Every structure is written in C-alpha cells, then in structure tokens.
Amino acid sequence: MLNNENQGRRDFLKGTATGIGFGTLASMGLFSYSPLREFFLPKIERKFADFGACKSIKVTNISETSWFDNATLMGDIKGAGGLLVNQYDFNWAPFGDGTGLAKGSYDRGIATIKHLLPEKVDEAWDIQKKLAVNADNAGGFSCLMDVERLDGSRKKYLLDVGWNYQWIHKCFKREGIDKMLASGEIDTIILSHEHFDHFYGLPVAMKYNPNVKLIIPEGFYKEGLQYIKDSGHTGELVIAKNGLYEIEPGFSTYVFDVPIICRVFGEQSIFANVQDKGLVSITGCCHQGIIKFANTAYKELKYDNDQMYGIYGGLHISPFDDWDPKYDDLVISLGKWDFKKVGCNHCTGLLTAEKFIAAGYPVVKGTSRFRSQSHSYLGNGDIINFG
C-alpha cells in the first residue's frame, strides 16, 4: 500500500516535471510570435522634447571622399586582421612609424610629427607619406553647417575635420574654412566620432584656431583624447553624454552608444528643426543607422509638422561597396519615413544611393567635382539647403 502510494507520488512528480516542460515550451511556441504578444510589449510613449527651431540650414560639403580607393583601404584592413583591429595600430597616417601594416602605435607614430603640429601640417604629412601605409589613399569627411536662426542671424559650425592633412587643408582653403576659423566665424567644431577619416585631420583646423570649442561624443579612447591635446587644441573640450546635447535653439547633437569598426565606440549626429518644414538629420557616418536615428527623433523630440524633412551626410550603409541583405531592409523601409530631401554621400555607398534612386526616393544629385565619383551623390563642394 505504502509502496503504491509512493509510486503514485513519484509518477505524479514525473508527470508534473514533464508537464512543466511541455506547458512552457507550448506557450513559447504558440504565444511568443503571435499577434497576442503585443499585449506585453513596452508601449512607445513619444516624449516630444522641445529643442526649439531654426529658420533654415545650409550644408556645404567640404569633403566626403574619406579614401580614394576602396580596394586599397580594404586591403589594409584585411592585411591588418579585419574590421576589429584598433585604428591606431594600422600604421595609417598620421601615426605611421615605418614598421609596416598593423605594427603601428599611437605613441610611436605621433612622436614623428608632434613637433610640427599644428603649424606645419603639410610638412608633417610629407613625413608620414614616407612612414605610413598608403598615406596617399587618405581623404576625409568634413562639412560646414550654416544655421539661420529665427531672428535672421547666422551661425556656422564645422562637422568633422577629415583625415589627410594635405587634402583637407586644400579643401578648407577651397571653401574658405581656413579664414572662417581664423576669424572666429567658426568657433565650434563638432566631431561625430573618433574614426580616422573624420578625426585625424584635427591639426589642420587647430592651425587656424587652436582655441576653438570642440564637442566630442563620449567613448573616445585615451589615444584620441591625447591626440586632441597633441594637435594643439587649447580651447574648451565638451564630452557630450549619450542622448540629446542642445547647442542652440533648433540645433542639437544626439549621442549614440554604438560600437563601430576599428574599435571605435560612440557617435553623435545632428538634429535640426527647421521651422515649418520639419526635422533635418545631419550625420558624419550614422553608424547607429538612419532609421534608428529617425526613430529616436520620433520617440524623443518635437519637430515642426511632425515631418521628417531632410537628411545630409554619410549613412554608413555600404561604405566599401559591400552589401548585405539588411541594407535591403533599409532601402525597402526608408520610404515609410517620408523624407523630402535626401542628400547622401561618403559611407552611404554608391550602390545604396543608386538603390535609393531606383526606389524613387528624393535623392538630391551632385556635381561630381573635386574627386567625388558620382552624380548620385552630393559630392565635394556641393551645397544643400534645408528650409
């Protein structure tokens, strides 16, 4: 009798243990991907943070050609060990030390030119041409943002400072950036992120105004912070924390804690609210992704007409003319955000721009000058107006 009871209890426990597994797995399979699951999903509550408005914004493309030959750059990346290798180890200019690909270091590289910065940037680059790997392939990304305030006054900001000292120096002179820096007309530089092609050209800007205010996103490594000092910067350094950083009414940066290739971490992009038009997104590389960027604005910010109005910059989709089906997801889904003006270039990738055009998106075409490769892009020297 006792044995029977015991056996019955044991059978019950075995059944219960089996049933728990069965019930849990059945619920997982039947409920987790059904429409009913939305009941438990966090609800999106739009915050409508008011960051003001500006009247218009004009963006001048100083340089979007970060490198001139994809195969050369990718050859370097492959040779060094792939996309996760620390960017300061590549032996790329301006941190070349003559030891060859993937054997570089910030300290050894900067020691070869530090005494020339920031005054003799062209001479420093000549030294690096001999020491660094493929220095001539370097270009850089930089653009000028000219904000028209509601009272009609104007204010200029520089986004990023390129890579190759000599190339970006030439581009600065072509667009008059050297004079704007020297006169204080540009007194703030926003660095989107720490990547070589957006950041390494810093000494060229410092040559004309070392006292300029620098706004960088959190996530810079110690080498990057040291480079800011070694470039000759003497002005205010603002490290923007993740989230919204308001610069002036209608013009803010937004920092994303995004992991990026070559060991870089964190990027800030710019939101501008143009009166009666809507939101303009200006990006360096947009490693966070343009849809994430737009979706963040949708959830966090208040902007005119509740309209996504324009995009300018690198959208980091196929920067090396590579492709992945997830980029097709982006091309397919961008349309629902209803942007009215798309000015893309740089790491957007030519193939992406062509797919955007084929999908019927309002891509603003460029003039293909100053070594920019295609009319599908807003190229070097091109201007786009929002507002």
Smaller CB separation from other proteins, 242 or 385? 242
**3-state DSSP call for residue 350?**
helix
Would you say 63 and 168 are in contact if contact means Cβ atoms under 8 Å apart?
Answer: yes
Choose which of 48, 84, 173, 184 interacts with other proteins (CB under 8 A): 84
Q: Which region, judged by CB under 8 A, interacts with other proteins, from 47-55, 113-121, 155-163, 259-267?
A: 259-267
Hey, which residues between 307 and 336 contact other proteins (CB under 8 A)?
Answer: 320-326, 328-330, 332-334
Which part of the chain contacts other proteins (CB under 8 A), choosing from 103-111, 164-172, 252-260, 301-309?
Answer: 252-260
Positions 262 through 281 that interact with other proteins (CB under 8 A): 263, 265
Contacts (CB under 8 A) with other proteins, residues 145-174: none
What are the beta bridge partners of residue 273?
279
CA distance 312 to 328: 20
From the CB of 277, what's the least distance to other proteins, in Å? 23
Q: Is 71 near other proteins (CB under 8 A)? A: yes
Write the CA distances from 185 to 86, 177, 181, 272, integer angstroms: 35, 9, 6, 20
Q: How far is the CB of 326 from other proteins (least distance, A)?
A: 4
- DSSP-H helix ranges across the chain: 2-31, 70-80, 106-111, 121-131, 165-175, 177-183, 196-199, 202-208, 222-230, 290-300, 325-334, 350-358
Q: Is-contact 366 375, C-beta < 8 A?
A: yes
If the CB atoms of residues 8 and 184 are measured against other proteins, the closer one turns out to be: 8
107 touches other proteins by CB under 8 A: no
Rounded to whole angstroms, the Cα distance separating 172 from 179 reads: 9
Size of the site for other proteins (CB under 8 A): 76
Helix, coil or strand: residue 151: coil
Q: Which of 259, 305, 306, 359 binds other proteins (CB under 8 A)?
A: 259
* Phi-psi map region of 263: left, alpha, beta (phi>0 left; psi -120 to 50 alpha): left
125 vs 72: CA distance, rounded Å: 19
Give CA–CA dist 92/76, Å, rounded.
Answer: 9
Q: In this structure, are residues 310 and 281 in contact, taking their beta carbons and an 8 Å threshold?
A: yes
Site for other proteins in 206-245 (CB under 8 A): 242
Closest to other proteins by CB, 33 or 115: 33
Alpha helices in 335-387 (DSSP H): 350-358
70 binds other proteins (CB under 8 A): yes
State in angstroms the smallest separation of the CB of 135 from other proteins: 20
- Is residue 342 within 8 A of residue 374, CB to CB? The reply is no
Q: State in angstroms the smallest separation of the CB of 137 from other proteins.
A: 13
Nearer to other proteins, 53 or 260 (CB): 260
In this chain, which of 144, 260, 353, 378 binds other proteins, going by CB under 8 A? 260
Strand order, beta sheet including 154-159: 237-240, 213-217, 186-190, 154-159, 142-148, 56-63, 383-386
- Listed ranges 37-45, 103-111, 153-161, 302-310: which one lies at the site for other proteins (CB under 8 A): 37-45
Nearer to other proteins, 142 or 281 (CB): 281
Which region, judged by CB under 8 A, interacts with other proteins, from 84-92, 121-129, 232-240, 301-309? 84-92
Of 1, 3, 35, 44, which lies in the binding site for other proteins, with binding defined by CB under 8 A?
A: 44
Considering only 292, 305, 338, 375, the residue that binds other proteins (CB under 8 A) is 292
Residues 6+ apart with CB under 8 A from 182: 208, 209
Residue 20 touching other proteins (CB under 8 A): yes
Please tell me whether residue 24 binds other proteins under the rule CB under 8 A: yes
Q: Which stretch, 32-40, 128-136, 145-153, 363-371, contacts other proteins (CB under 8 A)?
A: 32-40
| Chain center to CA of 281 | 11
Of these, 112, 288, 376, 380, which contacts other proteins (CB under 8 A)? 288
The pair of structure tokens assigned to 379 is 């190229």
